[in-house]
Amino acid sequence: MRALDGKVALVTGASRGIGAAIAAEFAAAGARVAASARTVSPGTSRLPGTLEDTVAGIRAKGGTAEIVQADLAVPSDRERLVEQVRERLGEIDILVNNAAVTYFTPVSEFAARRYALMFEVQVTAPTHLAQLVIPGMRERGRGWILNISSVAARHPTLPPGPFARLGGTVYGMCKAALERLTTGLAAELYADGIAVNSLAPTQVVPTPGTLFHRLTSEDDPNAEPPEVMAAAALALCQAPPSELSGRIAYSQELLAELGLPR
């Protein structure tokens, strides 16, 4: 049997980048994958990558995947998302909170509506989605929740580096909140057999988003392929919850710890 045979995985932000790579990795491991994002078809986003691309790639390799479009800034969309995944694929065993809306602007210039949107998508939505899937996980006595984070969650040092000067404070704040949610939920759900972990790339991954914000480049020798994050995500979402939960993990360090290829 493959590692995720018989399991249903919901991956948000799966139209491109890390989310698309995780969706493909989980499908290859046997999961029935619900790929969710706002961008279903070409021409609806300024960034390349769509849910149609992700799901077509999975199906071409014999995997099972469904498109479930949702705007995670809208609470009713989050509820509909979980309902539709259950209707199409079954009860959700794995939730990967990867979706993000990101603006890089100094705090002194940050617009209130952008601040609210970032917090809604990166912190409130993962909390709400967890609330929606926890009852089913509890009933079955198993489950995995994975929150995708960033090294930006770490406190900056002084004098500041280029990321701070770029205006990454609100982004880092959202990711720090997500990590605290992770450890708190892990403690609350440990007795229920539900693992909750966060995972960040060790190095910047050249995704459409990071390329757009000029955080890296396609030829950056220090960049991390999205497949590294996907492999680390699979490791966290197949391990027994009693053995691997409450971790604030980094991709390459986790794979090295587990003796897996990087």
Hey, which residues are catalytic here?
149, 171, 175
> Distance between alpha carbon 18 and the CA centroid of its chain, in Å?
7
75: preceding bond cis by omega (within 30 degrees): no
